[in-house]
Amino acid sequence: METIKDDDNLKITVKRRTWFIGSFTPVKIQFNGRLIGTVNSFKETEMNILAKKGQLMCTSPMDRESKLNVQAGDRILIKDTLFSRTANILIAVWTILVISNLIYTSLPDTKPEGLFPESGLIVLSVYLILCTGSYFSRQYKIVIND
């Protein structure tokens, strides 16, 4: 029978720094294919694993994976991919434009079409394209944080 020594423990710290899209759902963390926990948005979790090194994996919705080889003492950061970051910015900008247009049209003596003459169908289409694209893409990547 093999005894477990202290140096066989893999102690890692996992931080999650993700923006709006997907921030309300926890990210599943797996080590060598086994689920070891979850990390909520803007949280830091310390994980102890009985191994010297291995492969850490975080899973986005639709089972899009990001993998990283880790060893004891590593500080891991879960962050948005470039596409997810871009989608976050576009959704925020689009929301500000729509709200400012609604406020403008509610003021007296303004043009009924508002600042931007868009229809409700165009607004809904842009939101659906951005949200669907970001949902089906890999939203997160894991990196070693220095």
What are the CA-CA distances from residue 29 to residues 41, 79, 84, 130 (Å)?
Answer: 13, 13, 19, 26
Decide which of 22 and 107 is more confident: 107
Q: Is the pLDDT of residue 4 over 60?
A: no
pLDDT band at 90 (very low <50, low <70, confident <90, very high): confident
pLDDT band at 3 (very low <50, low <70, confident <90, very high): very low
pLDDT value of position 81 = 83
Question: For residue range 13-43, what is the model confidence (pLDDT) as tens digits?
Answer: 888 887 776 677 788 888 888 888 888 877 8
Q: Is the pLDDT of residue 1 over 60?
A: no
Q: Using the structure block, give the residue that is written with the tokens 């600042």.
A: 115
Tokens describing residue 101: 């247009």
pLDDT value of position 52 = 80
Q: Which helix (H) or strand (E) holds 16?
A: strand 9-17
The model carries a pTM of 0.68
What number is the average pLDDT over the span 37-53? 83
What number is the average pLDDT over the span 76-99? 83
Do residues 92 and 20 touch, judged by C-beta distance below 8 A? Answer: yes
What number is the average pLDDT over the span 113-118? 66
